Homo-oligomer: A and B are copies of this chain.
């Protein structure tokens, strides 16, 4: 695929039921970021190169460029979020766009308005981009079929969270130079994690070897189809160059996916005893201190968690820029 990010094809099957996308077909030139699966390695590298130049802007006192002045970006969040929402908000503002935040609390979403109607309403404002987070897998793809705006998937149910994966790749590339041949273990609740899915796709596309590890109840049977290995234990964790720890949702504990919190911690917590020197630790946040990660590990120099968050703004600026301004030939903004 040679477009800067990806063109949504109206014929591409969607994983969600209901109204098919493409009833209001997006213009052929309109580009979205729905899934890492739509990106080539060259696409990813172009975004990361752009993000490097925006990271430089973030280091200045005036952290702002006029690239999207007078353009409108809608943040449409149907789930609670601090990091992703504020990261996109700052990205939009540092590009000088006008941002409108819509959250499910205090909006017509509370009146039971359908996603389609909400999107069509917001599209009437002619936004340059709609950033959508939804508890439903496939929501971002559907939105792309209902609007002329560029759509950025900020997390759709258990499906994908592509900007998280891009910022994780950005963080690792900065630290290691390249992901080629790097061994990455993704540890925890893979089944319910959109971050796991996007990151397996992104890490493997960039040349890394990925192993997922966690309780068998929390690893999908067919996960190897995504190009990774799977294991129920951390026995061979010393193979990993990078340990990517997933958030353990408290509610899973009461759903009998895990015998008990105590047992989960005993078998899968990443801490000083399990880690070897030089192994890097990542986490998409927010962390449950003392559950999937020990407090000491969170604050250790092996953890890249702060760098991940920091990368978020630059990478999201780059995604918005590539979708709305970018040309196929990468050039400094």
Contacts and interface: CB of A to CB of B under 8 A. Distances in A.
A106 B77 CA distance: 9
A265 interface: no
Contact of A82 (B64, B71, B72, B108): B108
Contacts of A86: 74, 100, 102, 122, 125
Interface stretch (A45-53, A112-120, A193-201, A216-224): A112-120
Interface of A: 23, 58-64, 69-72, 74, 77, 80-83, 85-87, 89-90, 93-94, 98, 100, 102-114, 117-118, 120-126, 250, 285-289, 299, 305-307, 309-310, 312-313
B121 A63 contact: no
Contacts of A61: 70-71
Given A90-B100, A100-B89, A313-B125, A70 B62 contact: yes
Interface centre among A77, A87, A106, A120 (most CB of B within 10 A): A106
Given A61-B71, A117-B289, A313-B125, A108 B83 contact: yes
A285 B117 contact: yes
A147 to B, nearest CB: 11
Given A80-B107, A82-B108, A114 B70 contact: no
A310 B81 contact: no
A117 B291 CA distance: 14
A57 to B, nearest CB: 9
Nearest to A98: B93
A110 B81 CA distance: 9
Contacts of A310: 124-126
A59 B135 CA distance: 33
Contacts of A289: 114, 117
Contacts of A121: 82-83, 285-286, 309
A82 B107 contact: yes
Contact of A69 (B64, B83, B104): B64
